[in-house]
Structures are given as C-alpha cells and as structure tokens.
Structure 1
C-alpha cells in the first residue's frame, strides 16, 4: 500500500462480517517513527459514520459496503517510472507492463488498454504519465507569440504590476435553478448595484444540473448578463462515477446537458462554454479530450491547495502548476486547448494572523465553522484581502445553488458585501468568460472603463422573455420513482418526454443526440 493510505485491522480468516462491521469506523495509517522506523496511527470516524476504505473518507453508515475489506484496491502497475538504479528490461523507447511484456512508450495512457493486465492505463497522472504535458517554460512560451503559462500559477498575465491589475471576483453557483433560489440570485445581483470603475452591474456564473431546473429562470439569468455553464444531466453523487467515466460518458453528461440548456433556456449555440463536474471530481484525460473535441472553453472542477500566493487560471497546454488535490482525484496529464478556472482554497480562520492553521475549504458550503453573519463577513473580507494584497488572482466564491435558502441571515450580509465591494473602485464581479477575456488582453485599471469585452450586457433593462412559462409535467417513474411528476418550466415548446441522457431533446427516443447534428 502507499505510505499515505489508510487501512483496516485484519482480524484473521476466522473473523465474521459482524466483527468487521463493529470496527468499521476505525482505520489506521503507517507514520514515521524514530530510528527510521514506522509506527501505526489509529483514527476513528464520528459515531454515526463508517470508514470507506475505497474512498478513504468517513461516510454515512448506510453508504459504506466494504467494512470487511482491509486495504484499498490496488490496480496492476507497469514498471514505471524507474527508480534510481533500476534498469529496464525493455528496449529503448519501451516500457515493461505489469504483466511482463514490453510496449512502445506512446501506447501508455492513450485511453486504450494495451497491456494484458491493463497496467498501461493505471499511471495516468500528471506526475507519472510517460507522455505527460511539458512543464511551462516562459523562455519558449512568449506572450508576444500568443502563449501564456506560469511555472507556479501565480504570474499575472502581461506581467502587470498588482497595482495595475483589476481585482476580479467570480461568484458561482452549482446545481439546479428553481423559483426559490432564482429570487435569491436576483437579490444578490441587484440592477441598482454597479461597479464604480465601469458602471456595469455585477455578474455571476451558474453551472446548471438538469433535474428540477426551471429553464425560464435560466433564460432570464442569461438575458441580464450572467454566464451559464453546465454541471451534468444526472448530477450523480457517486464520486467514482465521475473519476472513471469515459469520454463518451462525459459527452452524454456535459454536451447533452448543454443541448438541454440551449434548447429549453433558448440560449444560442457557442454561449455555454464552461463546465463543472459534480462533487468536486475530475475526469482526467477522458473529460478533457471530450471538452477539446466538443469546443468547451474551460473547466472549473480542479481544486488547488493553499500556497504562498493564490493561483491564476491557466491553460492545460502545459502541465498543471500545482498538486492534484483530492483522494483518488483523476487530473489530466496531457496537453489540451482548454482553460482551467482553478478553485483556490479559502482560509476559514477568524483571525488569519493569530489563529492556528486550519484546513481550508473550496466551496463556501464546506466552511462549516461559519455560524454568524459577522463571522461570514470577516471570512469574505479576509479572503478578498489575501488576493488583493498579493498577486490579485481572481477571487472565487463558489456555492451550491441552495446555499442561501437555509441561511437567510448570511444572504443579507452577502448582498450588503457585494454592494460595498463594487463601490470600492478596483473590484469587479465578473463571469468566468470575462476573466478569460481579460487574461487574453490584459488591461490596466486606468483603462478598464473602455475594456469592450466587459461592456456587453453591462446594464440590462427590460422584462423577461415570458412571465408564464410552460410547466411541461411529465411522469418519469423510471428515472424519478419518488416523484409523481417532473416539471420542466420553459418559455419554449414542451418536449414529448422528460429530457435525459441519450435524449436531451426529449423526443422520446434513445438514440445518441449526435444524430441530431
């Protein structure tokens, strides 16, 4: 097993499942000990949780089905990378599979199983892929030639000074849009709140999951200037599903989700350009090859650990400039013409100078220590200040779509905070696409009022496209056995059946949606 991997106690071959279940909340790990030895450290989940040895986390008891499993499953590996002093038994340019045969290096991590034991597809990480993307080399990647990369991800585009750089803030919501949270979003992004620097109203980005979404509300969010992205059709809550999904599966989930948004929110093609995978998972090379093939501009699923400076977004044309964060996370290892709108870790300490270091959070929902509006306001100010006083990397505040539905006192504080920050002069609440627009044409604060890429839908007036959307009730017990009917609210014509995987138009067939193009 790996040094950082947790495992269970082995009670022997005579132990029954009842004994393992009684100890399912206890887990162990090998840790360094004096004299270059190792000792075993014990840990326990909370009383209502069991330890899932495959996911390496504590989960609700009814979700854990591997209490009798001692170790996490280890797939077969090829003899790569070679350790110091280790010699390969294969000819030059070939790698030995775990099953013993030698294969050309280029066959490894190509999304096709070539080794007898499949080991050629089990080392496809940014660190171990034999054909991984190159590290950023600023001497070769020149801004004047249309290339941008950053060795550690902290470099300001155009090599501007921080004082010349506008502090961009991205507010994102991920999940279904319904009548309740739609009214909350209207409250946050008031048309009376404007940026002091360019008189535009604040904008946000919404990553839509399909089930229970009101597409007339999505259409209105888009009309007033917010960006719409996709976060899958099924919103599957199984982490392994997203880590192991192949490119066709990602195509059905994400491109299919985009088709549904375009069709029922009446959004033009080539406007939905970003995606976010549910559960903070990443689909590796399979996901990113699909994105490149289907014309997605960016992903916003990868989380970064907190470092000395926050990270700027980066392109996947070079190797990721930070560690792949998350248990069994499947980060891409090859180069792709796709942007990564990286999710920076947030500092949740009340006093960043004197409080002891705490594990941060990436979604605001995960910051469980925030209990009062005053504490929430301090959290917002502290993290914004960290970005503003260093390299002014875009400051991301990422929420699930229902976050403020149960935190009305936080909502009032957040609405006030957005209005206050917008009036400070150097701060701009922008969409993900607007961040990329700026990075492709860095513009100093003094000239930002004339930056045309931020002027589109600067201040939108007028009425919604429709005030009485079609409810489109559909009985779909096969998909939603607990729902008597599913409603798809849209200003467009109702589909024949509820849109889903392989049938995003809701035509009632199960052929691939590719046939509609």
Structure 2
C-alpha cells in the first residue's frame, strides 16, 4: 500500500505523492470496465475457436493478428482492450540474450539490470543524465548556462558536463536552443502543443504523433538550424506513453529513443534497453499505455528516485521519477542529501545511468536549490569516475562498452569536448506574430530565432509557419 507523508495525497494515475490541489483522483475507486475477449485462457480452459483465432467478448472468433492492431474488429470492441505488454496476443517475446545481438542493435537483460559488455561495476563509468523538459526562454537559458559552466570539467576526460533538453514549442526561444546545441548539449523534442490532457497522449494515433513530434523536429531544424538527423529523442508530456502507435511512428520517422516510460523502484536500478523484446519491468501508472510489440527503438527508462531523508532509518515512502514531483524537498541541505543518496545507490550497485529529470522552469522558483545544484555538479565531476553525459552519449557507450581506464580516448564523448565556432547571432529576431486563436491570453507570440522569420506562428500541421494550413484545438 502506498504511503505518503502528512499533508500529501496519493495520485493513483501518476503513482506519486502530491499536494492535495494537484490530485484529482483521490476518490476514484470504481471505473468503467471495458468488454474483454476470452484471453488469456485460464489453466485447463479450452478455446471454442479454431487454432489461431480468439473469441471476442461478443462471441465471434477472429484471427489472432487482428487483436491489438488499433482497429476495432470485434462487435464489442474487445479486441483492442487487452493490449498490455503482458496480455497482447501478439506481444514481444521476453528477453533472450542469445537472440538479442549487439550486431543487430539489440540490448536487453531478463530483469533490466545487466551491465553492457558484462563489465564489473568497478570498470564501469557512472553516467549521469541531467534532462530538462519544456520551453526554453531567456530566464531558464541563463540558469542552464550556470549549471553547465565551461569551467567545470570531468576529472576523468577533461570534458565539460552535458545535458539533454526535450523542447516543447510554445514560448521557446530558438536562438537559445541553437546556442545550447552549439556548446554540445543534446536537443530532443517534447511535442508542439504540450497538451496537458493525459488521455490525448494515451489515445493519439501514429499520424498524430508524427504531427506532434516530427513536426517539433521540423520547427527545431527550421528555426534553430539543427539538422533533423541530430534530433533523435523524444519525451511525451505528462509522463504519458502512446503505446504501439507512438513507437510505430518513431520507427517510421527515424527516432532513436524514447524517454517517457517510468520504472518502479527495484533491488537495482535499470539500464536503458531496446524494445526489440518485452519491457523488463511492469508498466507503471494507472491507465498507462505501454508498448506491447517489438520496435527497433531504445527506451531511456526513467528510474524511480528515493526521496527519503535517511535511506537507512526512514520509513518507506513512495518515490518520484521527476525531481519536480519530490514535494518533500524544502531545504538546500535536504536537496543535496537527496542527490547524494540517489547517486550513491547507482554507483554502489550496477552503475546504471543516474537520471535527474526536471521541468525547464524548475530552478526559476528555487534559487537556493540552484546554488546547491551548481555546486554539486562541480563536486561530482571532480571525483573521477562520474560523467554528466547526454542520452545519445549513453547509447554510444552502451553500443561500445569502454572501461573507465580507457574512457579518456572514447571518441563518441571526446567529440563533444571542444566547443567550436561562435554564437550564430547576438541579436535574434523576435518575429512577433498574432496568434489570438491559439492562446487567447496572448496578444502576440514571439518566436526568437537567428533564422528567417516565418509568415505565421508555426503550429501543428504547419511547422514551417507558412500559413498554408491552420489547426486549432481549444484544449491545447
């Protein structure tokens, strides 16, 4: 049973403790139960259908391949109501290391905890991924410059720490995005609309995900001058997952990895894995739509963070996956202890990448936390076995596991060490555009860019801002 501190309430959808005004499902007990087919069969139960067919809840028999294909075929729709990683009749196989070959771009382990290359923990660099999700603006851009100072260097390879930014479009300053990329940070996408309706993302089809995510990538290429083939990752807003439709789109449009799926706290933290086999952990979250089929995509899984003040003596509390959700952190000293405790858990076990995931505005209202975090990053970088790297750099290392002793010559990391060139422009154009139908509270929207201004504010189905197509949904 989940246990929250006093004055906190348990959100059954996000599976975290939150303040009362943020929890809208406390009293939610009974939910509508959709019709189900006769599947999976119970022990000793015989199917009334011919081989290769499954009985719908409404009685008819249909071929197995019609189940969970995103098309309703049963009269009662039951063929699309069992599409979880454990129940989908056409689900991916569990991990078989003998069939999951590095040469084919596959990595898995039965429980998700195996170190790539079967290295010993002592030989494995402790990678740390700092990610920010949301819009990039003048306020938080200065904060990011403070965190990732060019005077902070890793003791192990003399490179500066790098982060990953999952960009949502509205209110983003694309000249700032361009500068973050120039100095070696990774730019990924988190949609155009940043729709806050959770069911929107759970139910969106592959064409919708293409418009949201590849459209966001087009905007970044057009207005931050970053090649689309460098923008390879995505994170779905609101910690929702789009199931097979999301990952089908990712394969079709050449995305390398997703970082939307959360994993529960286990004996050991999890390493990233490819989705060519079944997920090595349960699908976390109420009504979460995790992928059930196999896809040639990496999952940069979000491990649960331990938010207890004293991990040896405090009672068990539900963890959090994004630092913003750790509502019990109120003082800089407590924040520092939280960082050290969670880093220590990874470093002293299997050295799975340690993820610290923030919204882009987290430190804007926590200046005392920012000072502590800047100090912590500098201190950890000087310890020798710790490396602040991007998501793509984690994958680079996993594809070619390299011991700490040789990490100084690991070219996939060294390539980002030296910052080349100068900022593209010192005075970006604000490109003011009338967008009253998009955001009624905003008379004008500014799109800061060093590139040529668009004809209209770029949006869903019109990422170039040409004005040739306009779509508006009041829920965005």
Give the TM-score of the pair, scaled to structure 2: 0.93
Q: 1:53–1:179: structure 2 CA closer, same or farther, 3 Å change rule?
A: closer
Q: Encode CA deviations 1:177-219: one digit per residue, 9 max, x unaligned.
A: 0000000000000001111111111000000000000000000
In the TM superposition, residue 469 of structure 1 has moved relative to its aligned partner by 0.4
Is the CA contact (8 Å cut-off) linking 2:191 and 2:213 kept in structure 1? yes
Distance in 2 (CA, whole Å) between partners of 1:334 and 1:270 is 25
SS in 2 for 1:516: coil
Q: 1:44–1:429: structure 2 CA closer, same or farther, 3 Å change rule?
A: closer
Q: Encode CA deviations 1:40-96: one digit per residue, 9 max, x unaligned.
A: xxx999999999999999999999999999831222211111112322111111001
Is the CA contact (8 Å cut-off) linking 1:503 and 1:513 kept in structure 2? no
Is the CA contact (8 Å cut-off) linking 1:191 and 1:459 kept in structure 2? no
1:268 aligns with: 227
SS in 2 for 1:285: helix
SS in 2 for 1:270: helix
Q: 1:89–1:178: structure 2 CA closer, same or farther, 3 Å change rule?
A: same
Q: 1:134–1:514: structure 2 CA closer, same or farther, 3 Å change rule?
A: farther
Q: 1:163–1:60: structure 2 CA closer, same or farther, 3 Å change rule?
A: closer
Q: Encode CA deviations 1:429-459: one digit per residue, 9 max, x unaligned.
A: 0000000000000000000000000011213
Distance in 1 (CA, whole Å) between partners of 2:462 and 2:475 is 10
Distance in 1 (CA, whole Å) between partners of 2:106 and 2:255 is 19
Give the TM-score of the pair, scaled to structure 1: 0.86
Q: 1:442–1:140: structure 2 CA closer, same or farther, 3 Å change rule?
A: same
In the TM superposition, residue 149 of structure 1 has moved relative to its aligned partner by 1.5
Q: 1:514–1:195: structure 2 CA closer, same or farther, 3 Å change rule?
A: farther
Is the CA contact (8 Å cut-off) linking 1:50 and 1:58 kept in structure 2? yes
In the TM superposition, residue 279 of structure 1 has moved relative to its aligned partner by 0.5
The structure having more radius of gyration, on CA atoms, is 1
Q: 1:512–1:296: structure 2 CA closer, same or farther, 3 Å change rule?
A: farther
Distance in 2 (CA, whole Å) between partners of 1:270 and 1:417 is 33
Distance in 2 (CA, whole Å) between partners of 1:476 and 1:108 is 43
Distance in 2 (CA, whole Å) between partners of 1:204 and 1:65 is 33
Q: 1:104–1:166: structure 2 CA closer, same or farther, 3 Å change rule?
A: same
**Paired residues, number:** 475
Distance in 2 (CA, whole Å) between partners of 1:400 and 1:471 is 24
Moved more, 362-371 or 48-57: 48-57
Q: 1:294–1:511: structure 2 CA closer, same or farther, 3 Å change rule?
A: farther
Is the CA contact (8 Å cut-off) linking 1:502 and 1:513 kept in structure 2? no
Q: Encode CA deviations 1:215-241: one digit per residue, 9 max, x unaligned.
A: 000000000000000000110111111
In the TM superposition, residue 474 of structure 1 has moved relative to its aligned partner by 0.8
SS in 2 for 1:454: helix
Structure 1 unmatched ranges of 5 or more: 1-42
By relative contact order (CA 8 Å, sep 6+), the higher-ranking structure is 2
Q: Encode CA deviations 1:470-507: one digit per residue, 9 max, x unaligned.
A: 10111111111110111000001110000000000000
In the TM superposition, residue 144 of structure 1 has moved relative to its aligned partner by 6.5
Q: 1:44–1:320: structure 2 CA closer, same or farther, 3 Å change rule?
A: closer
2:411 aligns with: 452
Q: 1:152–1:46: structure 2 CA closer, same or farther, 3 Å change rule?
A: closer
Q: Encode CA deviations 1:403-449: one digit per residue, 9 max, x unaligned.
A: 00000000000000000111111100000000000000000000000
Q: 1:251–1:516: structure 2 CA closer, same or farther, 3 Å change rule?
A: farther
In the TM superposition, residue 115 of structure 1 has moved relative to its aligned partner by 1.1
Is the CA contact (8 Å cut-off) linking 2:127 and 2:354 kept in structure 1? yes
Structure 2 unmatched ranges of 5 or more: none
In the TM superposition, residue 122 of structure 1 has moved relative to its aligned partner by 1.1
1:189 aligns with: 148
In the TM superposition, residue 462 of structure 1 has moved relative to its aligned partner by 4.8
1:293 aligns with 2:255: no
Moved more, 349-358 or 173-182: 349-358
Is the CA contact (8 Å cut-off) linking 2:3 and 2:316 kept in structure 1? no
Q: 1:289–1:441: structure 2 CA closer, same or farther, 3 Å change rule?
A: same
